[in-house]
Structure formats: C-alpha cells, structure tokens
Structure 1
Amino acid sequence: MKSFTKFGFMMVVLALLSPGWLAAQAPDLILHNGKVLTVDSNFSVVQAVAVTANKISAVGTDAAVLATAGPSTQKIDLKGRTVIPGIIDTHRHMYGAAEGGYGGNLTDDDMRRYAVDWSGVKSKEDVLAQVKGLMTKWNFPPGKWIYFNNRISFTGNGDENSPGFAKILYDEMNQWELDKVTPNNPVLMSLGIPDFQGFLANKKAMDWVMANHGDFMKANGRFWVDNQGRPDGHLEPPASRLVIPFTYDRKAEILAPLYEKNMQEHLSMGMTAISTRLPKDSLGAYQLLEKQGKLTWRIGYGDIETFGNTDLDVQNLKAAAAKVGQGSDRLWMTGMGPTAIDGVSSRACTDLKRVGTYTPIDSWFPQGQCDTDGEYRGSPKRASAITKNYYKDWVYASARDGLRFANTHVAGDRSVGNMLNFVEQLQQQYSPAATKDWGLDHCDMVNPKDFPRIGKTQIFMSCYVLRSVENSVNIARAYGNQVANTYPSPLNSMLKAGGRVVLESDSGSYIWEDFRAAVTRKDRQGRVWAPQERVDAATALKMFTAWAADYVLKGDKIGSIEKGKLADLVVLDRDYLTIPGEEIDQIQPQVTVFDGKIVYVHSNFAAENNLRPAGAVISSYQELIKRRTPRAGVSTGG
C-alpha cells in the first residue's frame, strides 16, 4: 500500500507537469472584446487573448477564449480597444538615459564621473583650474584612475561658444597640460562626444597605455600626435577602448534604483524588451534587479569591454561566441562588437563632400571617424600612422569563430559600405551562415547603391527613423537636399530590396513618436523628408515587434501574440491601424502585461475598470517623467 501511494503520487505529479495539463489549466487573465493585432505570419486580428502563468494560452474569438475561463480567471473587457505585442526596441541607450534622468541626487563620487562645468570657460587655464579644484575637493589617493566629464556636447549644432570650446579641448589641451594639475593619478577626460568614441588622457594614463599596450598602439592605435610626432593624449578607438573599463566601476546598489525608475517609464510606453549594450557595472545593476525580482522587462545586451582588450593574433573568439544567447529570458547576451565603428553627424564616416556646416567640430573630422578604414584619417595632420586595422580584424575573426556582430553603431554611408564589403567577402570565404543575424544599427546614412547588397546579404538594418527625420534638416545643410531625401533611414527602399529592416529609437524618445516618423516621415516641425520611404502602420508594427524579436534572438518566444509565446501585451487607447499617421504619437498605452503579469496600468483605465493589480505601476508616462531628477553631462553611451 505504501509503495502504491508513492507510485500514485508520482503519477499525479507527472500528470500535472504534462503539456496536456498545462493546456487544460484555466487562464489567469483574459483580455476580450478587443481588436488584438497578433502580428503572426498572417497578421491575424482576433477578439481575445488568454494568459496562463507567463504564456499566451489562447487567441481567437470572444466566445472561444472566454470558454476557457475558470472561476478565478481575471477578465478585462477592452471595450473595443486595440492590443499589440510588447514593443521591442532594437537599439536604445538605457543606462545613460537612466543616469541622466534620475542621477541628479547622487554625488560625482557616487557616479565616478567628476563634472567640469564649461559655462564660464574662456581659456585652457579655466579648465585646468576646475580640474585642480576637483583634485583638492575629492582628495583622490595617488594611483587611482579618475574620469572627468566635461559638460559640453559637440554632437549637435552647439552654440556660439562651441567652436571656442572645441579649440581649447582639441588643440590646446593635451596629456602634458592635463598632467600639470593631475601629476599623481591616471586621468581620462571626455571630449564632448560619447565616451566610447574618444578620451583625452593625461601623461600618467598614457604611460600606462604604452607600457601595457605599446605594440597594439603602434599597430592599431588611432591617436593624435603633436608636431614632434608624440602621442598628445587624444585617443580614438580602438586606442580609447583600452582604458574604457576604468570608467565603469560604479556600484550596482547605486545604479539599480535609477534603472528601475527608467524601466517603469518604458513600460508606460508599452516597451517590454530592448536591445542595448552594457558595461560591466550596468550589467551588474540589472542583474541585481533580476535577483530582487524587480526586472520587469527583457534586455538583450551587447558586451562593451571585450573589444579592444582581446589580442586577435593569439586568441580566438569562440569562447565569446559561446556566450551569445546565454542568460535568462529577461537578461541575455545578443552579441559582442566594437560598440561603434564611426561617429554621428559630422563624425559619421562618409564618402560625401560637405557643402555646408554640420557641427562645430567639422574641421577636426573632415570625413568622420572611419574606424573600418585601413588608413587612419583622424584630425588633419595629427593622426598617427597605423599598420593594422583592428576593426577589420575583429569582424573577420568574428565570422571565423561564430561570434555575432550586433549592437554596434554604424551611422555613415562609408561605414555601411565597408561593412557590406566585409560581409560579402566573409560569406564567400565561409558561407552565409558565418554572418547569420548580424546587424548594423542606425541607418543614419545609407547610399542607395547599397540597397541590393543589403537584401542579398540578409544582415539586419536597425534604423532610428525619428532621429534620421529630425536630423534631415542638418543633413540638407551639410550635404544638400537630395542626400537628405534619399540617404537617412531609407526603410521602404531597403524592404523592397529584400532587406531585413527593424526599428529602433536610439535616444530617449517617446516611442510612439518613432512609429509616427516611420509612417509619415514628418519631423516635429511638420516638414516631410524622403516621403518615398514611408511604411504603413502594419509594417511599422512588425518592425517594432515580430521582426525585432528576431534581431534580439528571441523570435521563438516574443514579438507576436501566439499560443505558447511569452505573454508580453499592450492595450492601447485608440485604434492603431485606423487613426491618421500624424496622431500615432498621441497613443497612450492603457495596460502593459509583461511575462503574464500586469505591470503597468494607466491611471484613467485603472479608475474606469477598478483595476489596481498588486505590484503594478498605476500612473501615466506624463506623470512618471515628472519624477526625474536630471543629472547633466551624462554620456549617451548606452
């Protein structure tokens, strides 16, 4: 009898764990009387969807889905509202946005970024005096690496002071000048551009670089030299990548609360997954949130620090390749790459000739930061000679060893062309599988002659269409109207060529603005750019859901509303498919379901339906962003 009881118990357990039992289990949640855009292969539209545990258990008519309900099933009448899969942004700067939005109450020491205020700067001496004051204020122990964050930016139009600031920082400052006020510490200083694209290093930092990576620097370096041919301390990638790990040493306990608030903002937009790149300290903060049960979205991330710190002559990348796809369904690695292979705006690598001013630093980067070129053409007459190209070597080693190239900024038309050249050669040398699911992010400038190659190679093109449309007026000024109406984020042309095109925001935009830009090609002033590149609303939705899921390597689990997939759902306040394109950016998600749980409810919907789920944020995007405590001068690096 005793053995029979054990046997019977085991049979019951096996029955409970069987797929058949799971299928028969009553749903926890049913959304009905709605317009459910499944974004499956047929773009089916149904009335209802059921969620059991963390998965979608049924989709179909109201009658069919409601028939699966049990006595404890929560049923929400949508009253005709639209439901879409959770939005997946294939490139969004997360940790920088969180730190910039919510880091205002933290000290420079908390953030390991010591701010230099340029608002009153008139000379090099003003900058050095501030640095000297900070050295005294914080009393750094000798030998400690220090990162000074200049609160200036040269990525946009700048103001009347920008050219003078650039001259001070790029022409007058150097390793020896900086060393005068920082003699006992290795020091890095930002250059008014994202930190992964350059630093100014003092003598002690340069001594460390040359002592530990001298051969690498001589062959691959990309650094500026003075009139005697000596490294002057200005570092571009990959030289600058040798020191970037010293700038990411913040504590997870400090960063995690900032990231959680930023995550809640994104849930209010309907975003349930993003692709980004993470340094080790930011990854640690998200891992802490996951451990605490507070990570309520999915992050596919690219590794930042391996690139530039791996000797490709003596090591292979197979160990790195084995990490891709590893992790949980909430936090996993999607690739490993250079972070960026060029700059943005005037630093985007281009074959075009400027006919007008683009940014205040045009003259320092006449063709952009062309990291994949075999010749280093940095600041005129100050670029070090190189004999090797670490970027090209990395790309070729990645294909050889099966490492996915993704999460990488590829902005300029020359950079896109160079990468397509590499991919074509690698597919011929190995096979198309060698570059399977590789992706180039941004589509800032794409030469029309490359459209057929994008279709043939089948690499992903991840496009920040809103940013492209907003920047088109500057592109027109710099390169002419024809370029501005053909090169930036050419979505429709690449799709017609058979390309795999997905959408990203890149910046901290309200994501529905990005949808609107894809459908209308209008900037915020109402100007239309490249109208031939518009896509319809259904296609834009695919690019932000089902196709984006493939980019983040989770196409079998997220991106569409289908039975068996993870339950990431968004209820909208209006009919996405029928409202005018100009009104898409006014959409306000009412409910966000993540992993089967309601994690966000708009305050209006909560009141209307008496819906206040435990643990969910009850608010609105407009209210959530009022909580921000901004911190100036944070890099947009991630």
Structure 2
Amino acid sequence: MAALVLVNGKIVTVDEQFSIGQAVAIEGERITAVGEDAAVLARAAPDARVVDLGGRTVIPGLIDNHNHFVRATEHAEVRLDGVRTRAAALDLLARRAAGLGDGQWLLTLGGWHEEQWAGDRRELTLAELDAVAPGRPAFIQAQYDHASVNTAWLDAMNVPAPDGLRATGRVGGGLVALNRAAAGFPAGGTREAGVRAAMAYCNSLGLTTVFDPGGVGVSDAAYAAVQSMAGRGELTLRVLTTLGAEVDEPAGRFAEKVRASNPFQGDHWYDRIAVGEIYHAPFHWDHGGRPPAPAASDIAAATEILTTAAITGWPVQTHSVTTGGLALVLDAYGQADKLRPIRPLRWSVTHAEGITPEQIERARRLGVTVQLRSQSVIRDSRATVAPLKLLQDSGLTWGLGTDGTRAAQINPFISLWWAVTGRSLGGTQILDEPLTREEALIAHTRSNAQLVFRENYLGSIRPGLLADLLVLDRDYLTVPDDEIKDIRPSATIAGGTVVYGSL
C-alpha cells in the first residue's frame, strides 16, 4: 500500500501515450499507481500521507545526459546560469561575497557568458570585482572563453606588478589556461560538502539524474567522494559516470583499463556506464569549425580502444562536433560493429552539432544514439546549434543535455525553453525549427533514460518505476513560451524522498 499519495494535480506522465493523470501513489522509492484520484487513493495505506496538489503540475525528474557534475563538486562557486543583466550579475556576486567565510574565494567557474545579458554586455572589470569582493580573491569565468579577476586574486596568485593582467583583470587562454588556473584554487570546504552543495543546486533546478562524461583534470578523489556517499545512501542526485582517458594517455594503456574493468557494477544512485567522452583525443577531439586531423597512428590507436570496448561489452560515448569529425567516428564505429554489434551497447556521439542527414541515417542503421547540448542558449551564435528537429524527425534515439557545468549552463528549464522557442537568452533566434513542448520534455526525460540504460526505472511516471518527480510552480504545458525558462520546482522528489522544497 502506498505511503504517499499526491492528488488533485496534473500528472504529466511522459509515457508512450503522453497521458495525463490526476494522482500518483508512491511506496518506498517506487511509483505504485497513476490515474484518477479515487482509483489512486484506493491504493493508499490507512496511515498514508495524502497531499492535495491544488491543480499543480507534476512531471518526471529531469535527466541531463551531459553534465560535468563531479568537476563542479571540487570548488564552492556562485552560479550565473540564466542571469539576464550585468547589474543582476554584479548584485548576485556582491551578495554571495558578503556571505562567504574567512579564506573563501568568490568563484564562478563557467556556465554563463556576457552574451546572455540584455543591454550592457561589457565584461566585468577589475575595479567592479574589487568593489563586490573587497580583499577577497574573485575569479569570475565566462564559459571557457575568459575570466575577470580582482586585485586580491592577483595578489593571491603572485602575479607581478608590471604584468598587464593587473591593468585589465582579464584572464584569457581558453579551456587549458582556465582549467589550469582553477586547479590551484582552494576547495572551500570538504569534498563531501562540495558534493552536497552541487547536488542541492541541481535538485533546486529539477535535476534528479546526470550523466557525467568525465573530463580532463577531474581528480580520482572527487569521484571517490561521490561514490562513497552513494554507498552510504547520502546522494540526492543519481550520478552516472564514464571511464575516460587523459589527453596524453597512451592508447595501449587505456585499452588495458577497458579490458580490466566492467560497466554497470554500481546501483541506481552511482554507476559507471560507458567509455568516454575522451578516449584518444587526437582522433576525435574537435570544436566548431575545427575538425580533428588524426594521423594514421591516431586512427589505429582509436580503433584499438573501440575494438576492445566492443569485444568486452562496453558502451562508448564520443565527443564529436564537426561533420568531418563525425565521419571519422562513424567509420570507426562501423569497423567495431563488424566484430560485435554495437546497437545493444547504445554507442553514442555527444554534441554532434555538425551531423548531416546522411550521417543521421548511418547512425540510425548502426544503432548509434545522439546526445545533443543546449550550449548555444547562452551565446548569440549559430556556431554551436544542434539540429534538433532533424534528429526528432529521423527516428534515431536522441536526448537533450547541456555540457555544463563550465562550458554551459545546467538549468534544464532554460534548455527546454531554448528547444521550444529556438532563442538564446540574449534574444537571438538561433534555431530555425524548434520542437513542441512535448518533444522537448520527452528528450529531457524518457529519451535520456534510454540513453543511460534506465528506461525501465526512470524517465516517466509509471507504476514500478523509481519515484523521481517534480511538482512545478507553474504548468509547463500551458504557460506562455517565454515563462518556460522561469519554471522552478516547488518540490523535487528523488526515490520517493523530497530532496528540495516541500509538498
């Protein structure tokens, strides 16, 4: 019998029929019934807690298929996801700085860009950051593009007085330089405190599951902290991870790691489910307009790794952005498929902005899945715009993610708004063919559950599935388009437990 029953609501199940119910019953960590109020109440235990939703909308917990969550646990930071003006950003930074303890730094490590602001889009200045965080080091990173710093940060990093950085307060150099700088910052607390803070932020946005594709420079200790907390039942966010290689790791050594380990050894809270997103960077690593140019030895190295993964039954996820890079990856996937069919392993390409109709068809025939990102929502550019409608109409399995936490924002309602309206936060129309609200929600729930091998547990509101639900502060299906990005959960439920807000 159900111990918790939510009634008098709009239960958007996101099942195969996209059916709508009035009530949902939960026993332990599972959903036991969905339907009309009377029928669901009949499943309630005598002492069940019955919550009147007052007509509020409930949707499945949202899943991000590309979220570098573990990296975000290593430093306490202020998130600027979705902040719409320069003044609002400075105000938020000032308020957070005032609440920091002794020795804590004011950090924002990506997830936003000045192009998301309306009006004044000037970069933050050294003088402004001196004012919002007097005497406290401040490092405010915009995406992987640049960072603005203050005098206290320059002093803490021992930047010499004649250095031009002291005049501009601007740190450039892209991904490598910015990650190198962040590696030297204080953690600002214990690792477990960092995990709790990062989970709380994700839960407050409506995220209940993230697929973390690894990334260069993330410490083993950071993963160990998350795994340890999972073992003690202390996670409020389901975290799925990958087996990835460092940029310069020899292919033979990484192939041996693949042979020596197995996927799916965890549980529903923490599990390692794929090889990737990096396994041999010279073969597949690319950016918009910059396809990879692997040597023959690099192609051979990637082939060794992919062959090993196929034979040993590992799913694979590959970072691939450009049309040329995707051609290389699909060629290599095709070779591996001859040794063992990869369709059951759901090998994927992640990002895939340059994918063509011919490549979509080739991927569909191989059983390759696609993980798209909403990164372009924070920039007024079509350079990283994913072909959502093309994939939606293809019959290929695909899902929606972000590529947060540094390269992109991670609020799933901003991603849903972007997919439905086609606009960037800065106001530019960057998608010619947006999705319907139903299509977008499926891509962030049920489709992503399939991409991470959890379709029998997550992604919709059905009896027998894990009770990951959001009670929303407004109706996703009927609010004006521009309000979708502003939706917040009144309550986030993971495994039948309220992990954010209240009922």
Instruction: Please indicate, yes or no, whether the TM-score normalized by the shorter chain is above 0.5.
Output: yes
Deviation of the 1:48 alpha carbon: 0.6
Aligned with 1:473 (options 381, 390, 397)? 381
Aligned position for 1:272: 208
Post-superposition offset of 1:320: 4.6
Q: TM-score, normalised by structure 1?
A: 0.59
Q: In the alignment, what sits opposite 1:440?
A: 349
Aligned to 2:466: 566
The answer to whether residue 34 in structure 2 is matched with residue 59 in structure 1 is yes
- Whether the 8 Å contact between 2:276 and 2:316 is mirrored in structure 1 is yes
Distance 1:314 1:260, change over 3 A: closer
Aligned to 2:424: 523
Alignment of 1:598-637 (within 5 A): 598-601=498-501, 606=502
CA RMSD of aligned residues (A): 3.7
- AA partner of residue 316 (structure 2): F
Q: Which position in structure 1 is the counterpart of 2:223?
A: 283
Of the candidates 394, 402, 426, which is equivalent to residue 505 of structure 1? 402
Residue-by-residue CA offset, 1:2-26 (whole Å, 9 max, x unaligned) = xxxxxxxxxxxxxxxxxxxxxxxx2
The answer for unaligned runs of 5 or more in structure 2 is 79-99, 108-124, 127-138, 149-170
Q: 1:234 maps to which residue?
A: none
Letter in 1 for 2:387: P
The 1:388–1:30 alpha-carbon spacing in structure 2 relative to 1, beyond 3 Å, is closer
Contact 1:460 1:501 in 2 (8 A): yes
Match of 2:322 in 1: 412
Distance in 1, Cα, partners of 2:435 & 2:401: 15
Does 2:436 correspond to 1:539?
no
> What runs of 5+ residues in structure 1 fail to find an aligned partner?
1-25, 112-118, 121-149, 160-189, 201-246, 353-366, 376-385, 476-486, 612-638
Q: What residue number does 1:495 align with?
A: 392
CA distance in 1, matches of 2:177, 2:308: 21
Residue of structure 1 equivalent to 2:22: 47
> Who is 1:325 aligned against?
264
For the 8 Å contact 1:252–1:284, the answer to whether it is kept is no
Contact kept? 2:422, 2:429, Cα under 8 Å? yes
**Matching residue's letter, 1:498:** G
Secondary structure of the residue aligned to 1:28 is strand
Contact 2:251 2:305 in 1 (8 A): no
Residue aligned with 1:51, SS? strand
Aligned counterpart, 1:581:
481
Aligned residue identity for 1:332: D
Q: Say if 1:152 and 1:52 are closer, same or farther in 2 by CA, change over 3 A.
A: closer
> Taking structure 1 as reference, are residues 263 and 196 closer, same or farther at Cα in structure 2, changes over 3 Å only?
farther
Whether 2:48 is the aligned partner of 1:73: answer yes
* Residues 1:341 and 1:447: Cα distance change in structure 2 (over 3 Å): farther
Q: Greater share of helix residues, 1 or 2?
A: 1
Given residue 396 of structure 2, which amino acid in structure 1 is its aligned partner?
Answer: G
Q: Counterpart amino acid of 2:335?
A: Q
Alpha-carbon shift at residue 506 of structure 1 (Å): 1.5
- Give distance in 2, aligned partners of 1:312 and 1:457: 26
Q: How big is each residue's C-alpha offset from its partner over 1:420-439, in whole Å with a ceiling of 9 and x where there is no partner?
A: 12222332x23533672112
Residues 374/423 of structure 1: CA separation in 2 closer, same or farther (3 Å cut): same
Q: Pick from 45, 64, 74: which aligns with 1:89?
A: 64
CA distance 1:80–1:316, shift in 2 (3 Å): same
Where do 1:110-509 residues align within 5 Å?
155-156=144-145, 192-194=173-175, 254-278=190-214, 279-305=219-245, 309=249, 312=252, 316=256, 319-320=259-260, 322=262, 324-339=263-278, 348-349=286-287, 367=290, 370=292, 373-374=294-295, 389-406=300-317, 408-427=318-337, 429-433=338-342, 436-465=345-374, 467-471=375-379, 473=381, 475=383, 488-507=385-404, 508-509=409-410
Instruction: After TM superposition, give the deviation of residue 515 of structure 1 in Å.
Output: 0.5
| Equivalent position amino acid for 1:463 in 2 | L
Aligned 8 A contact 1:251 1:281 in 2: no
CA distance in 1, matches of 2:343, 2:39: 45
CA gap of 1:432–1:105, structure 2 versus 1, over 3 A, is: farther
State the alpha-carbon separation in 1 of the partners of residues 222 and 189 from structure 2.
10
- Quote the Cα distance in structure 2 between the aligned partners of 1:396 and 1:105: 51
Give the secondary-structure state (helix, strand or coil) at the position aligned to 2:333.
helix
- TM-superposed deviation, 1:308: 5.9
